[in-house]
Amino acid sequence: MSDAYLALEDGRVIEARGRSPGQTRGELVFTTAYTGYEESLTDPSYEEQVLTFSYPLIGNYGVREERFESDRIHPRAAIAHEFTEEVVEWLDSEDVPAIDHIDTRDLVTSIREEGAMKCGIAVGDDVTPADAEAQLAKCKGMSEHTEIGAQVSTVEHETYRGGGEADVALIDCGAKMSIVDSLNERGADVHVLPHDTTAAEVEELDPDLLFISNGPGDPANFGDAQALVEEFVGEIPLAGICLGQQVIARALGGTTEKMDFGHRGVNQPVRDLNTGKVIMTTQNHGYTVDEPGDLNVTQVNVNDDTAEGLENAELNVITRQYHPEAHPGPHDSLGFFDDVLGMVNGTEHKLVADD
Active site residues: 242, 323, 325
Q: Tell me the C-alpha distance between 37 and 61, whole Å.
A: 10
Is 287 among the annotated ligand-binding positions? Answer: yes
Is 276 among the annotated ligand-binding positions? Answer: no
Is 243 among the annotated ligand-binding positions? Answer: yes
Q: What are the DSSP E strand ranges found in 35-185?
A: 49-53, 57-58, 77-79, 82-83, 98-100, 117-124, 158-160, 166-172
- Pair 29, 287: CB distance under 8 Å: no
Is 246 among the annotated ligand-binding positions? Answer: yes
Q: Which of 267, 242, 9, 7 is nearest to 113 (CA)?
A: 9
Q: What is the number of alpha carbons within 13 Å of residue 319 lying toward its C-beta?
A: 35
Strand partners, 191: 159, 169
- Pair 91, 139: CB distance under 8 Å: no
Q: Tell me the C-alpha distance between 237 and 346, whole Å.
A: 10
Is 345 among the annotated ligand-binding positions? Answer: no
CB atoms within 10 A of CB 173: 32
Is 346 among the annotated ligand-binding positions? Answer: no
Is 301 among the annotated ligand-binding positions? Answer: no
Q: Tell me the C-alpha distance between 106 and 103, whole Å.
A: 6
Q: Which of 302, 163, 185, 295 is nearest to 240 (CA)?
A: 295
Torsion of CA 190, 192, 196, 200, to 10 degrees: -40
Is 309 among the annotated ligand-binding positions? Answer: no
Q: Which of 200, 193, 196, 189 is nearest to 156 (CA)?
A: 193
Burial of 61 (0-12, 13-18, 19+ CB in 10 A): exposed
Reported as type and span, the H/E element at residue 261 is: strand 255-272
**Binding site members:** 45, 215, 217, 243, 246, 284, 286-287
In the annotated binding site for L-glutamine, the residues are: 45, 215, 217, 243, 246, 284, 286-287
